[in-house]
């Protein structure tokens, strides 16, 4: 079994669960168990120490109340299903990550953040209630007022408190399925951070960095600010097009690319083209389909095969705003010098996280992906040190390799989390490979 | 969504094909009545479909083996649905069916007796009204008895013949009778089996085909979900028995 990055690979018994009634019994009968949704966490978070509970079959929407746009779903419901059913009816999820092929249970366990984290917080901030199957099989209802400790440990808790059977959250009303996008071009990292600061009033904002450039152009970026387009903005459109659907997954990569395909030249060429295409749109507002704005990579199904059979590592850190320029410049410079190409370098501003182990913290987050090679491990260890020295941390949903030391230094509320695991018996029951590796 | 307000009766609402079919009809604006052996399980599907689509979905507990309840059930179904789709099926285990009469009987009754009796009853009411579509899900396994699954195959063959006769009798009455043969489908029934991708459909593909043929009026009376099955099964039917028995398919 492996995560989306295809590294690392571990043996774990897959246990299928299709009926909610069967959850309690199945959970009670296992140890070393972790829940798994659609397997989109990159590393070893959704690989059980001994057994892995496959939750995709728990995929039914329980209820939708249009008076307050409240949705209750089983944990295995996919975000793509919610979008498919509710965008045409004028609703959008409160927070979406960079792929729609994730389950609601996974979104809560990772407390995923979106391009609106600076304004709206993480997905967990919008969950009003959840049903959690805890060690021994008991099903507990958790919210900010009922079992609040368990609630805040489960949000961002990477499945280590139990199995998320059901969750309730509100959708946001939208007037169209289009995003009014403004593109800002910046020459370097300093400008990019400033621009992200300035676009803070926008609902959505994110920067794409050309991460191969060095010197004065280090951190050259395109910043995409977005709003849900209002009825006025899509006024000329026929009604059917206002919520037009897109075909899910246009191509699928049918085989693993050999590792030499992604080299400095090919990535640099891609980045240059991407940058120029984006820069042409600068200064004017354009309408972009929600699917393309939020999930550009979902257009290529199985894009993880880009990196070949050895897989890839995603590195995502957050650092406080004060030191962000120095630390992030250091990281980008290190990568640029090493020549380890990355298609994806994404920068965005984050606000406060709500769960005990939630990743977001006020500051800036940088995400990069890198093919698995021996040098990359050394390089990342070095970078992790810089991150925690600056008071930052790494995202557990993407982690496959950080050390206990950097993890413990980055998550100050870890002791409270461990304590809660002990009290509820979760520490003996729910254990992923990630939990074992980091000693949680 | 259009305001047509037609009603689909779906027999076997908790199966993968049943769920996909119900969703397709609900998305097209139909009202639904789902039946299943266990009420809580059908209710879960009904809630899901109604939340996703806003459709009206009612549920009814009905066991396909409890044939003595059929008349009561058909009596209370009101208004009479415009279309009925029966997706009930049970693959069973061939080797167990060879030794245990009870298991063999369960396979035969679930795949043939129950669906035939129930669809037959509904057909009478449809005929009296002079309209409606009846869709029975049969199987390519009914096209020829094979060593590896002839108990299931024989029951499906029975259903195919029944639907064929019913269609013949009702032709010109305004009632349509369709036989759908899905071929391999990626469902719970086939979970863990090695399936050839070219011949294997997704539940949604089967559902879409049912909807297009039953409501769009296109396609024949006997429908293979993937077209490749028709020449394939024709070829298999044409193999002479002395050779076929040695192939051990």
Each residue's pLDDT tens digit, A118-166: 999 999 999 999 999 999 899 999 999 999 999 999 999 999 999 999 9
Of A18, A20, A63, the CB nearest to B51: A63
State the pLDDT confidence band at B1, using cuts at 50, 70 and 90. Answer: very low
Cα angle B199, B201, B204; round to 5: 170
Give the ipTM of the model, two decimals please. 0.86
- Rounded to a whole number, what is the distance in Å from the CA of B37 to chain A's nearest CA? 15
Say yes or no: B15 contacts chain A, CB-CB below 8 A: no
**Residue B19: closest CA among chain A residues belongs to which residue?**
A60
Set B25, B152, B162, B224: catalytic member: B152
Among A64, A77, A168, the strongest candidate for a mutation testing the B interface, having the largest count of B CBs within 10 A, is: A64
In contact, B129 and B218? CB cutoff 8 Å: no
Residues B188, A60: C-beta atoms closer than 8 Å: no
Q: Is the peptide bond preceding residue B79 cis, with omega within 30 degrees of 0?
A: yes
What pLDDT does A297 receive?
82
Among A16, A54, A59, A60, the strongest candidate for a mutation testing the B interface, having the largest count of B CBs within 10 A, is: A60
What pLDDT does A257 receive?
66
Residues A19, B53: C-beta atoms closer than 8 Å: no
Closest listed residue to residue A351, CA positions, set A361, A340, A339: A361
- Rounded to a whole number, what is the distance in Å from the CA of B46 to chain A's nearest CA? 9
Alpha helices in A254-401 (DSSP H): 264-280, 290-294, 321-338, 374-389
Residues B47, A60: C-beta atoms closer than 8 Å: yes
- Rounded to a whole number, what is the distance in Å from the CA of A150 to chain B's nearest CA? 27
**Does the model's pTM come out above 0.95?**
no
How far is A140 from A151, CA to CA, in rounded Å? 10
Does the structure show a pLDDT above 70 at B3? no
- Rounded to a whole number, what is the distance in Å from the CA of B48 to chain A's nearest CA? 4
What pLDDT, in 10s, does the model give residues B70-97?
A: 999 999 998 899 999 999 999 999 999 9
In contact, B133 and B176? CB cutoff 8 Å: yes
How far is A389 from A399, CA to CA, in rounded Å? 18
* Residues of A with Cβ-Cβ distance to B47 under 8 angstroms: 60-63
**Residue A85: closest CA among chain B residues belongs to which residue?**
B52
Q: How many residues does chain B have?
A: 249
B43 phi and psi angles, rounded to 5 deg: -60, -40
Interface A-B, measured as beta-carbon pairs within 8 A, has a size of 27
**Residue B52: closest CA among chain A residues belongs to which residue?**
A85
Q: Is the peptide bond preceding residue A8 cis, with omega within 30 degrees of 0?
A: yes
Helix (H, G, I), strand (E, B) or coil at A194: helix
Question: CA torsion sign, A287 to A292 to A294 to A296?
Answer: negative
Say yes or no: B202 contacts chain A, CB-CB below 8 A: no
Residues A60, B54: C-beta atoms closer than 8 Å: no
User: Other CB atoms closer than 10 Å to residue A376's CB: what's the count?
Assistant: 18
Residues A61, B45: C-beta atoms closer than 8 Å: no
Q: Strand pairing of A285-289 and A178-186?
A: antiparallel
Of B45, B54, B188, the CB nearest to A60: B45
* Residues of B with Cβ-Cβ distance to A89 under 8 angstroms: 54
In 3-state terms, chain B is what percent helix, strand and coil (to 5)? 50, 15, 30
DSSP codes of every residue in A290-309: HHHHH-GGGGEETGGGGG-T
Residues A19, B41: C-beta atoms closer than 8 Å: yes
Residues B48, A62: C-beta atoms closer than 8 Å: yes
Residues B48, A18: C-beta atoms closer than 8 Å: no
Q: Strand pairing of A345-350 and A70-74?
A: unpaired
User: Other CB atoms closer than 10 Å to residue B242's CB: what's the count?
Assistant: 7
Which of the two residues, B13 and A166, has the higher pLDDT score? A166
Say yes or no: B35 contacts chain A, CB-CB below 8 A: no
Q: Is B102 exposed, middle or buried (0-12, 13-18, 19+ CB in 10 A)?
A: exposed
Residues B47, A85: C-beta atoms closer than 8 Å: no
Sheet strands side by side (includes A139-143): A61-65, A70-74, A163-170, A127-133, A139-143
Residues A61, B52: C-beta atoms closer than 8 Å: yes
* Residues of B with Cβ-Cβ distance to A16 under 8 angstroms: 191
What pLDDT does A237 receive?
82
How far is A360 from A122, CA to CA, in rounded Å? 8
- Rounded to a whole number, what is the distance in Å from the CA of B193 to chain A's nearest CA? 15
Say yes or no: A18 contacts chain B, CB-CB below 8 A: yes
What pLDDT does A301 receive?
73
User: Which tokens in the block code for residue A410?
Assistant: 């980055």
Cα angle A410, A104, A182; round to 5: 75
Of A16, A71, A85, the CB nearest to B53: A85
**Residue B49: closest CA among chain A residues belongs to which residue?**
A61
What pLDDT does A213 receive?
82
Say yes or no: A67 contacts chain B, CB-CB below 8 A: no
* Residues of B with Cβ-Cβ distance to A19 under 8 angstroms: 41
Residues A63, B47: C-beta atoms closer than 8 Å: yes
Residues A85, B52: C-beta atoms closer than 8 Å: yes
How far is A67 from A433, CA to CA, in rounded Å? 42
Say yes or no: B189 contacts chain A, CB-CB below 8 A: no
- Rounded to a whole number, what is the distance in Å from the CA of A154 to chain B's nearest CA? 25
What pLDDT, in 10s, does the model give residues B128-165?
A: 999 999 999 999 999 999 999 999 999 999 999 999 99
How far is A383 from A317, CA to CA, in rounded Å? 10
* Residues of A with Cβ-Cβ distance to B51 under 8 angstroms: 61-64, 71, 85
Our answer to whether residue B150 is catalytic in this structure is no
How far is A34 from A159, CA to CA, in rounded Å? 6
Residues B48, A60: C-beta atoms closer than 8 Å: yes
* Residues of A with Cβ-Cβ distance to B40 under 8 angstroms: 21
What pLDDT, in 10s, does the model give residues A123-136?
A: 999 999 999 999 98
What pLDDT does B163 receive?
98
What pLDDT does A298 receive?
83
Residues lower than pLDDT 70 in chain A: 246-255, 257-262, 341, 343-344
B219 phi and psi angles, rounded to 5 deg: 90, 165
CA atoms lying within 13 Å on the CB side of residue A286: 13
């Amino acid at each position: 079994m492996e995560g989306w990055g295809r590294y690392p690979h571990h043996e774990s018994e897959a246990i299928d669960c299709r009926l909610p009634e069967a959850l309690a019994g199945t959970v009670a009968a296992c140890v070393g168990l972790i829940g798994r949704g659609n397997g989109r966490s990159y590393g070893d978070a959704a690989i059980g120490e001994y057994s892995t509970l496959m939750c995709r079959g728990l995929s039914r929407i329980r209820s939708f109340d249009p008076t307050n746009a409240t949705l209750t779903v089983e944990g295995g419901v996919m975000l793509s299903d919610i979008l498919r059913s509710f965008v045409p009816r004028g609703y959008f999820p409160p927070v979406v990550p960079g792929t729609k092929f994730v389950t609601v249970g996974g979104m809560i366990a990772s407390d995923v953040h979106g391009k609106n984290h600076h304004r709206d917080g993480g997905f967990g901030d919008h969950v009003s209630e959840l049903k959690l199957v805890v060690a021994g099989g008991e099903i507990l209802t958790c919210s900010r007022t009922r079992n609040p400790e368990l609630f805040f440990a489960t949000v961002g808790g990477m499945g280590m408190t139990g199995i998320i059977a059901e969750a309730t959250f509100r959708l946001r009303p939208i007037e169209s399925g289009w995003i009014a996008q403004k593109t800002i071009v910046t020459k370097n990292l300093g400008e990019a951070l400033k621009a992200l600061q300035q676009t803070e009033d926008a609902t959505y904002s994110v920067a794409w960095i050309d991460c191969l450039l060095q010197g004065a152009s280090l951190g050259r970026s395109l910043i995409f600010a977005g709003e849900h387009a209002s009825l006025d903005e899509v006024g000329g459109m026929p009604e059917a097009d206002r919520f037009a659907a897109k075909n899910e997954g246009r191509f699928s990569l049918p085989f693993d690319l050999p590792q030499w395909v992604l080299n400095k030249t090919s990535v640099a060429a891609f980045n240059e083209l991407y940058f120029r295409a984006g820069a042409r749109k600068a200064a004017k507002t354009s309408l972009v389909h929600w699917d393309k704005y939020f999930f550009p990579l979902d257009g290529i199904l199985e894009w993880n095969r880009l990196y070949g059979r050895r897989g890839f590592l995603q590195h995502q850190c957050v650092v406080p705003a004060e030191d962000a320029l120095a630390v992030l410049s250091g990281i980008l410079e290190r990568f640029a010098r090493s020549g380890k190409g990355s298609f994806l370098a994404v920068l965005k501003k984050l606000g406060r996280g709500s769960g005990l182990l939630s990743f977001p913290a006020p500051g800036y987050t940088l995400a990069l992906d890198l093919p698995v090679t021996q040098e990359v491990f050394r390089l990342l260890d070095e970078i992790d040190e810089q991150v925690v020295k600056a008071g930052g941390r790494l995202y557990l949903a993407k982690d496959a390799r950080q050390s206990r030391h950097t993890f413990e230094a980055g998550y100050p509320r870890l002791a409270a989390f461990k304590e809660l695991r002990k009290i509820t018996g979760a520490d003996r029951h729910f254990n992923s490979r990630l939990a074992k590796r980091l000693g949680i | 969504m259009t305001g047509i307000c037609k009603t689909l009766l779906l027999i076997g609402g908790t199966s993968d094909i049943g769920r996909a079919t119900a969703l397709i009809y609900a998305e097209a604006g139909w009202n639904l009545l789902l039946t299943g052996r266990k009420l809580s399980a059908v209710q879960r599907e009904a809630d899901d479909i109604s939340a996703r689509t806003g459709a009206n979905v009612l549920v009814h507990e009905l066991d396909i083996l409890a044939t003595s309840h059929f008349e009561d059930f058909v009596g209370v179904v009101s208004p009479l649905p415009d279309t009925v789709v029966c997706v009930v099926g049970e693959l069973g285990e061939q080797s167990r069916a060879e030794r245990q009469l009870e298991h063999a009987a369960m396979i035969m009754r679930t795949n043939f007796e129950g669906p035939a009796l129930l669809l037959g009853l509904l057909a009478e009411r449809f005929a009296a009204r002079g309209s409606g579509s009846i869709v029975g899900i049969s199987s390519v396994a009914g096209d020829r008895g094979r060593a590896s699954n002839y108990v299931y195959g024989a029951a499906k063959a029975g259903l195919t013949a029944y639907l064929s006769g019913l269609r013949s009798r009702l032709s010109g009455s305004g009632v349509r009778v369709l036989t759908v043969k899905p071929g391999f489908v990626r469902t719970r029934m086939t979970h863990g089996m090695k399936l050839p991708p070219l011949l294997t459909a997704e539940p949604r593909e089967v559902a879409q085909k049912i909807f297009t043929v039953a409501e769009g009026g296109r396609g024949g009376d006997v429908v293979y979900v993937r077209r490749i099955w028709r020449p394939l099964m024709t070829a298999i039917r044409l193999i002479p028995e002395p050779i076929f028995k040695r192939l051990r398919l």
